[in-house]
Structure 1
Amino acid sequence: MHKLTRNDIEQAARHVYQVMPATAQYPWPLLAERLGCTVWVKHENHTPTGAFKVRGGITFLHWLRREHPGVKGIVSATRGNHGQSLALAANTLGLRALIVVPEGNSLEKNNAMRGFGGEVVECGRDFDDAREEAARLAHLHGLYLVPPFHTELVKGVATYALELFIAAPDLDTVYVPIGCGSGICGVIAARDALGLNTQVVGVVSKEAAAAKLSFEAGTIYETASANTFADGLAVRKPVPDAFAIYGAASARIVSVSEGEIAEAMRVYYTDTHNLAEGAGAAALAALIQEREMMLGKKVGVILSGGNVDRSVYASVIG
């Protein structure tokens, strides 16, 4: 992926803002009181799809229409947020969107994808299996296979980081959840485009720690499973193009337990009255884990989404 400039990201923002406004970022006082540092939360749970991915879907589909004007539709694999973004963006352009999810995927995310105009197919035990089926269906139906990581996806996602850094340019550290990697690569791209010195820290689940293991080994590492309720983090193997960026530019990668993620979801509710899905709460979970290291500093956390099933959230809050 080529190095993104501020102009690249601002051009992407013009496409994004045709569909949605910029999201808010706030320095929440009760989080500061709890953790002993200034905590800026970037609220990507407030997008039209409830997650940051919508930005990348918008910019990718604009690029696709421009570069492949004859395309009839798209197919992609997802656990939910990526699929919602593509369904929404494809629907606005009159394109078919076929979305492949693992068996037993979130019913509420599946319904949301259908609500945005997507056709949902269940296949495989996890996201990585769904990716293989998406590739097969692309060939079978003559659809464009949207990868989990692409320059245009990162360009769109980087717009949220640009908003955050313009509002709070003096952040010492930003914690970002890692799934397929567009989020953390977007934050790195925006930081570098603005010439800032902010440390970027990736966050994974201990149950889906391939990115952390790869970071520490300096090479791609695949785990046997990725069984976390934070489905946005449930990836068995890093995307090589994404890992090439965050593996080199992250300060470190932190792993958090299922219990720590659940506690962060509760903290978001009590301290900010915001709904966070598991992946959306992971960054705060990592900050809570590293609170002693962050005392007195200015820290950003990405609340990447709020799309959690009612039954899951009820068990967490209860």
Structure 2
Amino acid sequence: MSTFDLNLDAIEKAGADIYRHMSPTAQYRWPLLSRRCGCDVWVKHENHTPVGAFKVRGGLAYMAELARRQPNLPGVVSATRGNHGQSLAFASAKVGKNATIVVPHGNDSEKNAAMRALGAELIEHGADFQEALEFAGTLAERRGLYPIGPFEEQLIRGVATYALEFFGAVSDLDTVYVPIGMGSGICGLIAVRDALGLKTEIVGVVSEQAPAYALSFEAGRAIPGAETVETIADGVACRVPNPDAVAMIVKGAARVIRVGDDAIRAAMAAYFSDTHNVAEGAGAIPLAGLMVEKEKMAGRKVGLILSGANVSRKTFADVLSSVA
């Protein structure tokens, strides 16, 4: 079990670094979404951060602390499918550090362009996120860069600030649906829920094509998923789960459910139709989970984490043209 220190004081201290560069995001009750889902739906709009995703919180908290501890550090290196890399590029620039980001070949070109625009050196390597992550470790040794993984204590503290905002604004939620990529978002949510003594159940949502965290939750331990991962929700395209994340999720989540790409596309279209917000696949996957569990949630007060909006124009146009 992880020994991470995720108490409220630590999370609030991370927030002090974050709010120097961004404002808290909004949470709204959307009537059309509520009608569609048959329950009282509140959306936490992490699509409205400076990089269009919740990950920026972890990057800002991490880089501020790292710069204090190692002011002469030349730079950092990490792997991503997009949002984590944008977060580190944005945050590294704020503290005057260089960020080297590794993405797999074929990664979304618009996300790649965004990372470069934020100042990152972008390197393409490997067939998927896991191979990019392993190569980032090699680059750290080769270049003397500081490696940052996708699931680390200070990242989770930063990300958890969205949960503190959400529960502070809407404290009587029955259930919150949250995507699981490598686990920082759901673990931050669990930590804050527990620290506040709330009884809100937390439901993790993964893609059927990337079931590693669902399989691990069911087994009670970290086990790998599919050998290859292809899903429209590239932000949750994990095949090797983090054991510390799995331990926290097993202890604190009510369940982890799987949804298919058709359900994710339908949720992306529903967000645009009902709220005129853009949601990338991983951002829409909590709504897909709620739509699958519509009967179970009837009449309840439900939160959704819209974790990001960074979908390519072509993909989003295809979704809107293909979903009735």
TM-score normalized with structure 2 length: 0.97
Identify the residue that residue 298 of structure 2 maps to in structure 1.
295
CA-based RMSD: 0.8
Identify the residue that residue 243 of structure 2 maps to in structure 1.
240
Q: Alignment partner for residue 265 of structure 1, among 265, 268, 275? A: 268
SS of the equivalent of 2:181 reads: coil
The answer to whether the Cα contact below 8 Å between 2:201 and 2:253 also exists between their aligned partners in 1 is: yes
Q: Alignment partner for residue 256 of structure 1, among 231, 234, 259? A: 259
| Deviation, structure 1 residue 67 | 2.2
Identify the residue that residue 132 of structure 1 maps to in structure 2.
134
The answer to whether the Cα contact below 8 Å between 1:201 and 1:253 also exists between their aligned partners in 2 is: yes
**Structure 1, residues 54-78: CA drift from partner, whole Å, max 9, x if none?**
0000000011112223211000000
| Deviation, structure 1 residue 243 | 1.1
Identify the residue that residue 159 of structure 2 maps to in structure 1.
157
| Deviation, structure 1 residue 3 | 4.0
Q: Which amino acid aligns with 2:260?
A: S
SS of the equivalent of 1:211 reads: helix
| Deviation, structure 1 residue 219 | 1.9
Unpaired runs of 5+ in structure 1? Answer: none
CA distance in 1, matches of 2:10, 2:94: 23
Identify the residue that residue 312 of structure 1 maps to in structure 2.
315
CA distance in 2, matches of 1:82, 1:150: 12
Identify the residue that residue 176 of structure 1 maps to in structure 2.
178
Question: Size of the alignment, in residue pairs?
Answer: 318
CA distance in 2, matches of 1:157, 1:143: 23
2:118 aligned with 1:110: no
Identify the residue that residue 195 of structure 1 maps to in structure 2.
197
The answer to whether the Cα contact below 8 Å between 2:58 and 2:158 also exists between their aligned partners in 1 is: yes
CA distance in 1, matches of 2:116, 2:272: 28
The answer to whether the Cα contact below 8 Å between 1:3 and 1:189 also exists between their aligned partners in 2 is: no
CA distance in 2, matches of 1:175, 1:250: 10
**Structure 1, residues 279-301: CA drift from partner, whole Å, max 9, x if none?**
00000000000010001100000
Q: Which amino acid aligns with 2:71?
A: P
**Structure 1, residues 219-242: CA drift from partner, whole Å, max 9, x if none?**
222121221121101010111121
CA distance in 1, matches of 2:251, 2:167: 21
SS of the equivalent of 1:132 reads: helix
**Structure 1, residues 138-172: CA drift from partner, whole Å, max 9, x if none?**
11110000011111000000000111000100000
Identify the residue that residue 232 of structure 2 maps to in structure 1.
229
Moved more, 38-47 or 223-232: 223-232
CA distance in 2, matches of 1:209, 1:197: 26
Q: Which amino acid aligns with 1:11?
A: K
Q: Which amino acid aligns with 2:291?
A: I
**Structure 1, residues 96-127: CA drift from partner, whole Å, max 9, x if none?**
10000000000000000011110100000000
Identify the residue that residue 41 of structure 1 maps to in structure 2.
43
Unpaired runs of 5+ in structure 2? Answer: none
Q: Alignment partner for residue 222 of structure 2, among 220, 223, 229? A: 220
SS of the equivalent of 2:228 reads: coil
CA distance in 1, matches of 2:73, 2:184: 24
| Deviation, structure 1 residue 34 | 1.2
CA distance in 1, matches of 2:150, 2:272: 30
CA distance in 2, matches of 1:228, 1:266: 16
SS of the equivalent of 1:315 reads: helix
Identify the residue that residue 285 of structure 2 maps to in structure 1.
282
Identify the residue that residue 9 of structure 2 maps to in structure 1.
7
CA distance in 1, matches of 2:4, 2:313: 40
TM-score normalized with structure 1 length: 0.99
The answer to whether the Cα contact below 8 Å between 2:224 and 2:241 also exists between their aligned partners in 1 is: yes
| Deviation, structure 1 residue 135 | 0.3
The answer to whether the Cα contact below 8 Å between 1:203 and 1:283 also exists between their aligned partners in 2 is: yes
The answer to whether the Cα contact below 8 Å between 1:154 and 1:182 also exists between their aligned partners in 2 is: yes
SS of the equivalent of 1:317 reads: helix
CA distance in 2, matches of 1:145, 1:4: 21
